[in-house]
Amino acid sequence: MSDDPYDQASPRRPEAPREAADGGSARLGSLLDAPAGHDAAPSGLRGAFEHEELTPEQVRRRQRRGRVSLTTAIALFSLAALITVSVLASTFGWFEVRDYRGDGKDPVTFSVPEGATTGQIAASLEQQGIVADAQTFVETYSEDHAQEFIQPGEYELRTEMSSEAVVTALMEEGEAVHYAAVAQTLRMSDVFPILSESTGIPVEEFEAYAEDTETFGIPERFPTLEGWLHPGEYRFPLDVTAEEALRTMVDRTRETLDANGITEEERIFEVLTIGSIIEFEVQPEHYDVVAGAIENRLENPEGETSGFIQSDASVTYGLGRKGYDFSEEERRDADNEYNTFANPGLPVGPIGSPGDAAIKAAADPVETDYYFWVTVDLDTGETKFADTYAEHLRNVEEYNQWCSENEGRCA
């Protein structure tokens, strides 16, 4: 055997290339002219295209491996897709039940408490399994009943009712009304828009009655309805008029006066005016003491206060502003008929409509030696009282100190 590694007998020796005079076309010709029954490709190309001969068992093993790999890939893809959908569904609430269908399943008694808002009712309905989603209920309710109110009381409903079915049941079983909530320490100019928003009646119709005290049987001493629009919750019939709504509020004030034994016209004026001032001046726990201090000032014009009430709230009411900040010039302006610094005695009328507690305190003030009061902490409502002006000035210094430590709060 030849020692030449490229000997013809060696299977690793490649065939010697055959050159042609035409620059290589002979090689292409040799490939095309290969004898029948022989692969035209040289050994290197043949290895690239020919399949390895496998036994049947090897074929089956490879098929099984292929199937396992495909199954694993599909399983991993499905798991990833499931996780992705779960995250997105949780984020966007895709699979949350927003509403049930039909008239429900099991009977349940549902209570609407006094003063409950639509949102509170909706939350309670969802908690008790009556509706699927509180927000969906609110949206359904607002479509046709935005200006109406769900009457307090007990309703026979069912679990898993559609929001539409619940709205129908609540509005048919209970009489639909207009609901208005009037808070304390609101001026007449604040109350009219609330009534208008509740009833849908233009605010101008309420304003037209502002000075028409005669229509409501209010004593002539009162310049406007201010003082008579009793704070509280009201449920007006759907066909209520502006006059009827106002009369309801005036009647409630009259009922409170009657309950406290205040029936004489001059005394009515005193109680409602003083009651309106103390509501703006102090917290409810101090109403009766401040009412006593105001009574001392009015009954002792020769004392240190010279018969002046000196209420900041009354001055700004006359100025048509809110708050307690005014200039020294405005403090001395006697043309402001509500200025209790420049004009002794009661102002020309109430500066708001007092509630039950303020009316009661003004009707029956505490007997006290105090003439002065000042709230020294606007957050807690802490109020200090004094018999003399000198003592009062020390309390005022405490108030000023609090204001300096709480910038912007006393403006």
List Cβ neighbours of 154 (8 Å cut-off, separation of 6 or more). 109, 110, 111, 112
pLDDT of residue 128: 94
pLDDT of residue 150: 85
Q: What is the pLDDT along the chain (411 residues), one digit of tens a residue?
A: 444 444 444 344 444 444 433 444 333 333 334 444 444 444 444 444 445 566 777 666 666 666 666 667 676 776 766 666 565 555 555 556 689 998 899 999 898 887 788 999 999 999 999 999 999 999 999 998 877 878 887 788 999 999 999 998 888 766 667 888 899 999 999 999 999 998 999 999 999 999 999 999 999 999 999 999 999 989 888 899 999 999 999 999 999 999 999 999 999 999 999 999 999 999 999 999 999 999 999 999 999 999 999 999 999 999 999 877 889 999 999 999 999 999 999 999 999 999 999 999 999 999 999 999 999 999 999 999 999 999 999 999 999 999 999 988 887
pLDDT of residue 171: 84
Element (H, E) at 112: strand 107-112
Task: Name the nearest CA neighbour of 175 among 99, 232, 240.
Answer: 240
End-to-end CA distance of the chain: 117
CB 175 within 8 A of CB 151: yes
CB 390 within 8 A of CB 372: no
pTM of the model: 0.64
What is the radius of gyration, based on Cα positions, of the chain? 45
Task: Name the nearest CA neighbour of 260 among 108, 135, 344, 364.
Answer: 364
227 CB neighbour count, 10 Å cutoff: 26
Q: What is the DSSP string of 126-156?
A: HHTTSSS-HHHHHHHHHHHHTT-BPPSEEEE
